Amino acid sequence: MNWTGKLIEYKSQKRIAVLFAKDPELLLEVRKIDGAKWSPQKVFWHIPDTLENRIKFEIVPDISAPKSEAIAQIEKFRQWLRSKRYSENTVATYCDALKSFLLFYQDKPVSQITNEDVIIYNNQYILKNNLSASYQNQIVNAIKLFFKTVRETKIEIDKIHRPKRIKLLPNVLSKEEIKSILNAHRNLKHRAMLSLIYSCGLRRSELLNLKPADIDSKRGIVIIKQSKGRKDRIAPLSTKILEILREYYTYYKPKIWLFEGQISGTTYSEKSLQSILKQALHKTNIQKPVTLHWLRHSYATHLLENGTDLRYIQELLGHSSSKTTEIYTHVSTKNLQQIKSPFDDL
């Protein structure tokens, strides 16, 4: 966000002035912040002086050594992550998570932070603000990785505990629901994009990063390059999707990316792709909160129900661990349908 925060005293109250150039999107974001108010006299928006807002705007009570150290440490960590070839998305995620933790202990040198401080942070910031277990786990990942790079530390990395994970089953659609979603669009590009996600079990980013050359029709495969974890993998190319892609390619003639935006040579936006699915759901009157990732979950589950070995599904999805793939055994209905309920005998 292209905004800055500044500590002020407004009508005898401690507040944070939010300064930004005239921008409708930024204005909308500021208005969403609890307690945000506009000052006609001062000509700026101001928000409550809370720890959450200070972290959001990288503000500390005084511009002193603790903040300078925290910002410097975050920058060093950023460079270390890049040198290890982490993706920019991962770098941004870890650095934002670490920023939240280090600014919480702004008055404490990094070398003096202990495991007890991590527990206090979890209770006084994560739990107090009702933040999710997945966000807490993200923080733990960042802390563990960061303190591996710190020479002088009191932290015992192996003793930093993680939150207990909530075991959620993946959301899966029936084949009938999938068919109605994929056939909802008359627009050839929209139909091709959703169909390719399902037919190959692709992640959203994997679809948008495909190039025409990644569709190998002679070998009957789709080559997915540098996906999550910087891994390449291949997926079988269905003859049915190949026909759709050939028709699409003939009509649109993409230059660089398989699916390009309105300007030739640019990638299709994630927001527009999500909108395509939303439109399809509206047309089919499916009321479930379906996301693009549901198509990938459905692909894996339908493969399992068709008798595909779990090890192959793991490879097709690009999972590092078989445990990640095993969750689909809990949503497959193939064996459950063979079980007769005692209710039927009553």
pTM over 0.95: no
342 lies in a domain? no
* Confidence tier at 61 by pLDDT (50, 70, 90): very low
Residues 188, 246 within the same domain: yes
Structure token pair of residue 122 = 């979890």
Looking at 56, 84, 99, the residue that finishes a domain is: 56
Please state, in angstroms and rounded to a whole number, the distance separating the CA atoms of residues 128 and 131. 8
Confidence of residue 65 (pLDDT cuts 50, 70, 90): very low
Give the mean model confidence (pLDDT) for residues 88-114. Answer: 87
pLDDT at 247: 95
Phi–psi pair at 34, nearest 5 degrees: -55, 130
* Residue 56: pLDDT over 80: no
How many domains are contained in the chain? 3
99 domain-assigned: yes
Tell me if 76 is assigned to some domain.
yes
* 325 in the same domain as 235: yes
Q: Is the pLDDT of residue 64 over 70?
A: no
pLDDT at 66: 44
Please tell me whether residues 119 and 247 are part of one structural domain.
no
Q: Are 78 and 47 within one domain?
A: no
Is residue 60 over pLDDT 60?
no
* CATH assignment at residue 275: 1.10.443.10
Catalytic annotation on 228? yes
Q: Of residues 82, 293, 330, 334, which has the active-site annotation?
A: 293
Q: Is residue 343 included in any domain, yes or no?
A: no
What is the predicted pLDDT for the residue at 59?
65
Regarding whether 308 and 201 lie in a shared domain, the answer is yes
Domain membership of residue 43 as a residue range: 3-56
Do residues 294 and 172 make contact, with C-beta atoms less than 8 angstroms apart? yes
Contact present, 319 and 325 (Cβ < 8 Å): yes
In a domain, 167, yes or no: no
Residue 48 shares a structural domain with residue 70:
no
Is residue 31 domain-resident? yes
Active-site hit among 225, 228, 233, 283:
228
267 and 238 in one domain?
Answer: yes
Q: Residue 335's pLDDT is what?
A: 66
Distance CA 209, CA 267 (A): 8
- pLDDT computed for residue 62 by the predictor: 43
Judge if 28 and 93 occupy the same domain.
no
Percent with pLDDT over 70 in the chain: 92
Q: Do the domain assignments include residue 259?
A: yes
Give mean pLDDT, residues 306-332: 84
Contact predicate 2/20, CB 8 Å: yes
Average pLDDT, integer, range 81-101:
88
Q: Are 196 and 288 members of one domain?
A: yes
Which pLDDT tens digit goes with each residue over 188-206? 999 999 999 999 999 999 9
Closest CA to 178 of 192, 193, 190, 195: 195
Same-domain check for residues 220 and 95: no
Residue 108 appears among annotated catalytic residues: no
**Is pLDDT of 114 > 50?**
yes
Enumerate long-range contacts of 18-22, CB under 8 Å, 24 or more apart. Answer: 18/44, 18/45, 18/46, 18/47, 18/57, 19/44
Q: State the pLDDT at residue 161.
A: 86
* Catalytic site residue from 204, 296, 297, 302: 296
Q: Report the chain's mean pLDDT, rounded to a whole number.
A: 86
pLDDT score recorded for residue 293:
92
> Is 311 a known active-site residue?
no
Is residue 184's pLDDT more than 70? yes
Q: Is 203 among the residues known to form the active site?
A: yes
Q: Who wins on pLDDT, 8 or 180? A: 180
Residue among 121, 125, 248, 328 flagged as catalytic? 328
Choose, from 54, 67, 191, 203, the residue flagged as catalytic.
203
User: Do residue 246 and residue 325 come from a single domain?
Assistant: yes
Q: Could you say which of 134, 159, 184 is where a domain stops? A: 159
Q: State phi, psi for 18 to the nearest 5 degrees.
A: -105, 115
- What CATH number corresponds to the domain at position 78? 1.10.150.130
Query: Does residue 336 lie in a domain region?
Result: no
Cα separation, 323 vs 269, in Å, equals 32
Task: Please indicate, yes or no, whether residues 317 and 186 belong to a single structural domain of this protein.
Answer: yes
